[in-house]
């Protein structure tokens, strides 16, 4: 009878079920892991705050589908709940065990309730969501590598394995909504916190170590790297980090700038990484000041895709990998350990920029431009929808007010797209470095304080404090709005012979795109080439004049340092003097 009553309530509220009504503001979880059984059992308390604008009578709690709900209580009394399978690619299995719990009272908007929960089950290797979109199993298992297993366990949280309760609308890998749903959950959890007491039953040989990716402690507490069966971790704010845990017979090597946790059979590889850390550290210090400690945690699967969590890199360690490549990878996490920002385009953008700048130091500018170009096509693809609706098209009657909103939604400030906050932001910092010079950009970085970054224009003000240039247009085109990319073409080249027998060459460059930039332009002539930087605003032209000893044969705009929608129209062949008369 009770069950029927509950069903009636659920049916009555079904049309109004809002899965994302509650923000989980605090978790207190006791987690017990039994690697030999691939098992996880959790008891804990979660505080839910109603952030919707309507009273809520039903709470949604979701966990990975091989886990099952045991109990949900409020005020010490068990709640009625219906448990069902909910299809969502937010979990590696492609499904969630969802509990719809009837609360003892309606929770008003803004009010909170604490629930006591219990659940258990297994976390096996499962690439169900990737199989569903046709990824071959042999590849999928190296991407969705999360599992609890006897010899080594590695389990990431939201977006991989829902091993702690969440509440999200269905995400689908096929339409790319996993990133969007994850980003929305993280922004809801921006101020939330999680305390975890994680214990592992370790009965096998070896002496396993328990690691979590919690943010570094500031109050002088130890890192907690000792061998023990239990580990206490605090994640706060939860929006910045996805809780994950790792259990294996790790050995540790500590260097000044990074701690490396490796499996005993990989000692030579760990030593190679240690050497790379020592080599990279001075470069990171030069750009970002004193370095914090990065952490490298080895994945047992040698083909697994690496995963980053702040200053922690989870990756296979290989001796055979080129040492330069190891250094280039380490730069990224070491920058994260040294520089923090609540904004992805700054936090990730600068870490990717630093990789390019390190490669430039190692192998020269063309090698750095090649590195940045690796993701250029993906950025171009991501920009495509915006390109179709540039502000210039807004005059067309069908365009309505949409382009403006889209330009704001897809800006670096608001984006959840990796192509934007990683690739486009990397190019942004590179272009800014080219415009200001490295020493000025280092001063901007040194002046940056994450706690003072409250306004989108904070970085622009830091830049303007170091230079007299007004860069509002540049930040507006690349950071505050998404107006697509520039598209340069050399419109005209007019050489005039001067009295010394050389040429004065006037070059006009047109930018057909929606974003302006300062771009290098090179005049090639038999006597050598001359390069100059030219600021060309969106849908504008700009002209400069240079002296050239020989008759200019060709003019090329953009060396690849400015991402552009079309690079096929960048060179201009000048007609020889005889033909022009």
Site residues, Zn ion (CB under 5 A): 308, 348, 351
Spatial neighbors of 319 by CB under 8 A, at least 6 apart, are: 266, 268, 269, 272
Q: Which two tokens stand for residue 304?
A: 């697994």
Counting Cα atoms < 13 Å in the Cβ hemisphere of 79 gives 26
Report the nearest approach of Zn ion to the CB of residue 348 (Å): 5
Structural contact between residues 293 and 252, judged by C-beta atoms closer than 8 angstroms? no
List strand residue ranges (DSSP E) for 423-539, in order: 488-497, 503-511, 517-525, 528-536
Where do runs of H (alpha helix) occur along 400-537? 402-409, 418, 425-436, 438-447, 458-466, 472-475
Give the nearer residue to Zn ion in terms of CB position, either 90 or 351: 351
Residue closer to Zn ion by CB (options 337, 525) is: 337
Using an 8 Å Cβ cutoff, are 209 and 261 in contact? yes
Do residues 260 and 253 lie in contact, with contact meaning Cβ atoms separated by under 8 Å?
Answer: yes
Q: Least separation, in Å, of the C-beta of 352 and Zn ion? A: 7
- The nearer residue to Zn ion, 268 or 306, going by C-beta atoms, is 306
Beta carbon of residue 374, minimum distance to Zn ion (angstroms, whole number): 15
By C-beta, is 348 or 434 nearer to Zn ion? 348
CB of residue 116 vs Zn ion: minimum separation in angstroms? 36
CB of 421 to Zn ion, least distance (A): 10
Listed residue (252, 237, 463) closest to 340, CA to CA: 237
- Three-state DSSP class for residue 71: strand
Closest CB 445 distance from Zn ion, rounded Å: 16
Return the number of the residue (50 or 340) whose C-beta is nearest Zn ion: 340
User: Which residue's CB is nearer to Zn ion, number 348 or number 412?
Assistant: 348
Minimum distance of Zn ion from residue 337's CB (angstroms) = 11
Under DSSP, is residue 321 helix (H, G, I), strand (E, B) or coil? coil
Residue 417 to residue 406: CA distance in whole angstroms:
13
Tokens matching residue 114: 């604490």
561 phi and psi angles, rounded to 5 deg = -80, -15
Q: Which two tokens stand for residue 234?
A: 């605090």
User: In the bound complex, what is the minimum distance in angstroms from residue 333's beta carbon to Zn ion?
Assistant: 7
Choice between 264 and 450, CB closer to Zn ion: 450
Burial 567-581 (b: 16+ CB within 10 A, else e): beebebebeeeeeee
CA distance 3 to 215: 44
Pair 65, 71: CB distance under 8 Å? no
What is d(CA 233, CA 241) in angstroms, rounded to the nearest whole number? 12
Four-point Cα dihedral 432, 436, 438, 440, nearest 10: -120
Helices and strands, counts by H and E, the chain: 16, 25
Q: Which is nearer to Zn ion, 131 or 240 (CB)?
A: 240
**Minimum distance, C-beta of residue 76 to Zn ion, in the bound complex (Å):** 43
Q: Minimum distance between the CB of residue 429 and Zn ion, rounded to whole angstroms?
A: 13
Smallest separation (angstroms) from Zn ion to the CB of 308: 5
Q: Which of 492, 498, 490, 491 is nearest to 547 (CA)?
A: 498
Whole-number minimum distance, CB 40 to Zn ion, in Å?
Answer: 28
**∠ CA 340-342-343, rounded to 5°:** 105
Indicate the residue among 351 and 379 with the shorter CB distance to Zn ion: 351
Nearer to Zn ion, 166 or 337 (CB): 337
**How many CA within 13 A on the CB side of residue 555?**
29
Of residues 308 and 529, the one with the C-beta less far from Zn ion:
308
R_g of the chain computed on alpha carbons: 28
With respect to Zn ion, which residue has the nearer C-beta, 92 or 332? 332
């Amino acid at each position: 009878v009770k069950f029927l009553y509950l069903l009636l309530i659920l049916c009555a509220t079904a049309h109004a079920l809002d899965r994302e009504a509650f923000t989980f503001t605090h978790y207190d979880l006791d987690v017990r892991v039994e690697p030999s059984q691939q098992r996880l059992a959790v008891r804990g308390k979660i505080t839910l705050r109603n952030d919707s604008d309507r009273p809520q009578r039903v709470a949604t709690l979701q966990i990975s589908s091989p886990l099952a709900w045991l109990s949900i209580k409020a005020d010490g009394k068990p709640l009625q709940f219906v448990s069902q399978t909910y299809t969502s690619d937010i979990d590696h299995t492609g499904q969630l065990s969802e509990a719809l719990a009837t609360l003892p009272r309606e929770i008003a908007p803004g009010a909170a309730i604490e629930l006591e929960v219990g659940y258990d089950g297994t976390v096996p290797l499962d690439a169900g969501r990737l199989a569903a979109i046709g990824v071959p199993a042999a590849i999928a298992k190296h991407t969705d590598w999360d599992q609890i297993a006897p010899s080594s366990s590695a389990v990431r949280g939201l977006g991989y394995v829902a091993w702690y309760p969440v509440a999200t609308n269905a995400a689908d890998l096929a339409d790319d909504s996993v990133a969007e749903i994850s980003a929305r959950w993280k922004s809801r959890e921006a101020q939330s916190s999680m305390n975890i007491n994680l214990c592992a039953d370790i009965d096998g040989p070896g002496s396993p170590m328990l690691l979590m990716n919690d943010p570094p402690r500031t109050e002088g507490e130890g890192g907690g790297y000792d061998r023990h069966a239990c580990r206490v971790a605090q994640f706060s704010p939860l929006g910045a980090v996805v809780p994950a845990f790792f259990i294996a017979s790790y050995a540790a090597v500590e260097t000044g700038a990074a701690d490396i946790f490796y499996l005993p059979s990989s000692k030579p590889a760990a030593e190679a990484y240690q050497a790379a850390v020592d080599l990279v550290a001075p470069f990171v210090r030069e750009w970002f000041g004193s370095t914090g400690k990065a952490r490298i945690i080895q994945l047992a699967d040698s083909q697994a895709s690496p995963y980053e969590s702040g200053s922690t890199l989870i990756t296979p360690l290989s001796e055979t990998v080129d040492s330069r490549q190891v250094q280039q990878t380490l730069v990224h996490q070491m920058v994260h350990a040294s520089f923090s920002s609540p904004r992805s385009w700054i936090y990730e953008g600068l870490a990717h920029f630093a990789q390019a700048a390190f490669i430039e130091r190692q192998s020269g500018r063309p090698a750095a431009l090649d590195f940045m170009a690796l993701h250029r096509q993906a950025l171009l693809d991501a920009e495509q929808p915006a390109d179709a609706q540039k502000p210039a098209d807004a005059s067309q009657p069908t365009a309505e007010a949409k382009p403006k909103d889209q330009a704001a939604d897809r800006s670096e400030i608001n984006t959840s797209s990796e192509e934007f906050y990683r690739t486009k932001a990397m190019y942004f910092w590179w272009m800014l470095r080219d415009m200001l010079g490295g020493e000025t950009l280092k001063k901007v970085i040194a002046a940056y304080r994450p706690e003072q970054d409250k306004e989108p224009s904070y970085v622009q003000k830091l830049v303007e404090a170091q230079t007299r240039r007004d860069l509002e247009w540049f930040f507006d085109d690349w950071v505050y709005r998404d107006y697509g990319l520039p598209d340069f073409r050399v419109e005209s080249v007019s050489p005039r012979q001067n009295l010394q027998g050389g040429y004065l060459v006037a070059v006009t460059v047109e930018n057909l795109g929606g974003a302006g930039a300062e771009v290098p332009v090179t005049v090639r002539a038999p006597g050598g080439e001359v390069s100059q930087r030219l600021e060309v605003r969106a849908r504008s032209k700009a002209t400069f004049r240079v002296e050239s000893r020989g008759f200019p044969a060709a003019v090329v705009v953009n060396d690849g340092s400015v991402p552009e929608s079309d690079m096929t129209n960048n060179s201009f062949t000048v007609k020889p003097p005889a033909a022009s008369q």
